[in-house]
Structure 1
Amino acid sequence: MTLPSAPMLAFLRTREDMETPDIQMHMVPYAVKNPKKRQLHKFPGMTVSIYQLRPESLGSIHIQSPDRAINLLSILTFLPIQSTGMR
């Protein structure tokens, strides 16, 4: 027996004044224990994933050093838009 990647799918608007949906939600009827090993939990569950369809947020990431142990410099100008969607 096989299943599609997401048997339940929805396109939703986060605000009533929007003309078209701006998020896509996938729902699957199981809970993932270890995604790398593709292991499922033994108990019943559901996994929900949400994706932003047309991001408006802006920001930038800059490499500070050739050393990969040094963190990237992020300029987080996207936080006001991201926090608006999280009600």
Structure 2
Amino acid sequence: MNTFITICYIANAAIFFYALTRPSGMWLAADRNRGFWITTLAICGILGAAGLAADAAFLLLVLPRLLGSGSTAVSEDPRVRPNPFVKN
């Protein structure tokens, strides 16, 4: 049982740091709330095995949209100016 909980902590830490290192533009392009997901992963990660549900939700609901959105929210069109109110 202790091995399972240790694996849950390691998996949650890896997913948390992955989510934390994604740029804000990527979250905006994926239309997901960065603060909500990072807070959820952090709080649920403290709970050990209960954090496994948050990890699964992130991997199934958020990660495909983050990867499908590209690396930034900047438009490829040279006529479109970047939004000055968005942090990158």
Shorter-normalised TM range: under 0.3
Q: Name the one with the larger strand percent.
A: 1
Structure of greater relative contact order (alpha carbons < 8 Å, 6+ residues apart): 2
TM-score by length of structure 1 reads 0.21
TM-score by length of structure 2 reads 0.21
Larger Rg: 1
Q: Name the one with the larger helix percent.
A: 2
